[in-house]
Amino acid sequence: MSSKLAIKIDSLSKCYEIYDAPRDRLKQMIIPKLQRLVMRSPGKYYNEFWALKNISVDIKKGEAVGIVGRNGSGKSTFLQLICGTLSPTQGLVETNGRIAALLELGSGFNPEFSGRENVYLNGSVLGIDKARLDERFADIVKFADIGNHLDQPVKTYSSGMFVRLAFAVQMHLDPEILIIDEALSVGDQFFQAKCYAAIRSMMDNGTTVLFVSHSAATVKALCPRAILLSHGELVVDGPASKVLDRYFVLGSLEANAAKSAQLVPHPESAIATVASTESTVMQTVSCLQPPFERRVSHRVGTGQAQFVECRVLADSEEAIVVETGATLRVQAVLDVLDDCPYEGEVGLVVATAEGIELFAINSFFQGARVPAMKAGEQRVLEFEFVSPLSSGARYRIDLGYRMPVQGEYVDKVFAAAGFSVVNQGDRIVPLLFDVPGTVRIGLSTK
């Protein structure tokens, strides 16, 4: 392998053996051996599950690569094969340099030993001699910042303390390849920020980083390159922002295809649509939108009126994937079931898929009022805004209608609609918002 490469992966596949019952595992251990002894072809008592299929990737020294994909797509299997904690069924993995890995929480720690003892145990497992560990010990303890817990058995640690100590040990052992699988997500935000700063400084010093995270923003911030896995296959390998766009398009389609499939017995093959080109995808998405009542996560209110539809439109087309900077129109339909005898207000909230509310548009702030309404009426409402949202994330829309005199909501619907944002052309928008701004670069007056 070239000396410029840190990792070379060639036609890598991993097959897990799945047993229907524990006794089949026992049979598999004994019977094929006996059959071979009597020159019979050995039987097979398991089903094959190919968690990774024919992956080939080269990673250069000093590169930072994010691995993304939905649950079960093969990310952890991929990292474990690189670390050598799993062996490939087919293909080759070659690595060039000392690997430090944060895979399963606390792996490599003995739960009965104290944190202090585990630092030395971990170091010796990684081949670091005691003198060097003594030298780095104070820095490790300072970084982990777990106070007196250092002398308690690690089985008494919270998951956050575990990851603090594990990360502190790994990063102070000067790895040439650093592999992190979601582990940092259990640390608090202050510790995470410290870890990301440490990872960046390791990257500046030439460490190769492989990083699995479900947070698109973190992958984008840390890794210029990303790899998307789906059902054990490599879908795309390239610049992180482009790969994350594909990830969200794929994710939206798979989620909606699954929901639609529950209701419509013969959706136009969802898988075929997912596998098609992005432009085709954009055109076919609306037919994969699940019906309103299945999208809604929950609702509260008096029930005098109810939202019965909510659609996001970009360029007059219904869309679940929109481009950065697009002008979006959200159309909602409100059915009046009982008289709503007072003036009211309607609004929408745009929130992240995790429920962080980002901004709101409300008739009250616009100086508009919903008039009093009679049972049996229907109102169509339209909200319009230029999306300030950056790409690589899923967003949801919550709708609300209330009569201020009554106080409580008549209807508040959570996740009335959802959409993902992808980059417009080659323009890349980092972080969560695309805020117009200018930079002036002048000459010093000195």
Ligand X SMILES: Nc1ncnc2c1ncn2[C@@H]1O[C@H](COP(=O)(O)OP(=O)(O)OP(=O)(O)O)[C@@H](O)[C@H]1O
Q: Closer to ligand X at the Cβ: 222 or 348?
A: 222
Half-sphere exposure for 60 (CA within 13 Å, toward CB):
6
Q: Which position among 7, 9, 12, 51 is part of the footprint of ligand X (CB under 6 A)?
A: 51
Report how many residues bind ligand X under the rule CB under 6 A.
12
Q: Residue 50 or residue 364: which is nearer to ligand X going by CB? A: 50
Q: Which is nearer to ligand X, 13 or 302 (CB)?
A: 13
User: Which residue among 66, 69, 123, 400 contacts ligand X (CB under 6 A)?
Assistant: 69
Paired residues of 178 in beta bridges: 100, 209
CB of 51 to ligand X, least distance (A): 3
Quick one: tokens of 100?
A: 């430090």
Q: Are 412 and 299 in contact (CB under 8 A)?
A: yes
Residue 19 as a binder of ligand X (CB under 6 A): the answer is no
Contact pick of 33, 49, 107, 272 for ligand X (by CB under 6 A):
49
The token pair at 22 is: 């524990």
Scan residues 274-313 and list those touching ligand X (CB under 6 A): none
CB of 153 to ligand X, least distance (A): 28
| Contact range with ligand X by CB under 6 A, out of 29-37, 70-78, 295-303, 374-382 | 70-78
Range 71-130, binding ligand X (CB under 6 A): 71-77
Please report, in angstroms and rounded to a whole number, the separation of the first and last CA atoms in the chain.
52
Residue type, 38: V
- Closest CB to ligand X among 68 and 350? 68
Report the nearest approach of ligand X to the CB of residue 233 (Å).
12
Q: Where are the beta strands (DSSP E) in 294-377?
A: 298-300, 305-314, 317-318, 321-323, 327-336, 345-352, 357-362
How far, CA to CA in Å, does 88 sit from each of 85, 94, 100, 104? Answer: 10, 12, 20, 19
Candidates 66-74, 155-163, 249-257, 393-401; binding stretch for ligand X (CB under 6 A): 66-74
One of 16, 137, 196, 292 touching ligand X (CB under 6 A): 16
User: Is residue 25 part of the contact set for ligand X (CB under 6 A)?
Assistant: no
DSSP string of 26-93, one letter each residue: HHHHHHHHHHHHTTPPPP--SEEEEEEEEEEEEEETT-EEEEE-STTSSHHHHHHHHHTSS--SEEEE
> Could you list the residues that contact ligand X (CB under 6 A)?
16, 18, 49, 51, 69, 71-77
